[in-house]
Amino acid sequence: MKARVNIENITGIQEFNLEADIIPRIGAANISFKNSISDFEPVITANFFDNHKTKIKHEIDSKNIYISLSSEKKEFEINIDLLSGKIVSMTCRKGYKGKLFKDYGIGNKMSELLNANKNIYFDLDHNFFVNYPFDGLIIYAPSYELAQEIFNATVEEKIIPDFIIEAIEIIDMEFAEKIYSGTLIY
């Protein structure tokens, strides 16, 4: 006979630190790519118990076999591969206060980041900004139209249109090698 587990006694990650630095290859919100689905067991099982509250929401993406865990307003979100249990990506959005490279984050101008870090380039194959050599950092333009303008400006060697950074994503390098094999990994 199995012993019944008391949900109040389960420990694990139950909230994200929205002020923690964003560190490519490592993590954000005090979550590391070394964490796994088992670290979030209390969050995932909380829905089954009325008396247990958590600050992390979750939803399952059945198309891609991922579970997404996010802060209440989606300022921070992680995707975990349900087959391996590994975190594959972390995304910081409006309301996330942590910084990338200690000084830049959500709400900063992209031009400021580009001036400060000469290793960030617009990747023409994927239409987003990355740090070279690739370390898992991805910054998207806020719209498809703006991404196309940036693409054209990059190809024509013109001034890249500026924008306010609305999302910073970091992806696990092992996952990146599978998804972007031969294109981002140099």
Domain boundaries defined on the chain: 7-179
Q: What is the pLDDT of residue 124?
A: 87
Q: What pTM was computed for the model? A: 0.81
- Are 26 and 87 in contact, with CB atoms under 8 Å apart? no
- Rounded to an integer, the average pLDDT of 59-84 is 81
- Are 103 and 116 in contact, with CB atoms under 8 Å apart? yes
pLDDT in tens, 157-181: 899 899 999 999 999 998 888 877 7
Cα distance between residue 175 and residue 186, in whole Å = 15
Cα distance between residue 11 and residue 25, in whole Å = 26
- Are 93 and 167 in contact, with CB atoms under 8 Å apart? yes
Identify each DSSP E strand in 111-158 by its residue range. Answer: 120-123, 128-131, 137-139
Cα distance between residue 3 and residue 15, in whole Å = 27
SS3 46: helix
157 burial (CB, 10 Å; 0-12 / 13-18 / 19+) is exposed
pLDDT in tens, 92-113: 999 999 999 888 999 999 999 9
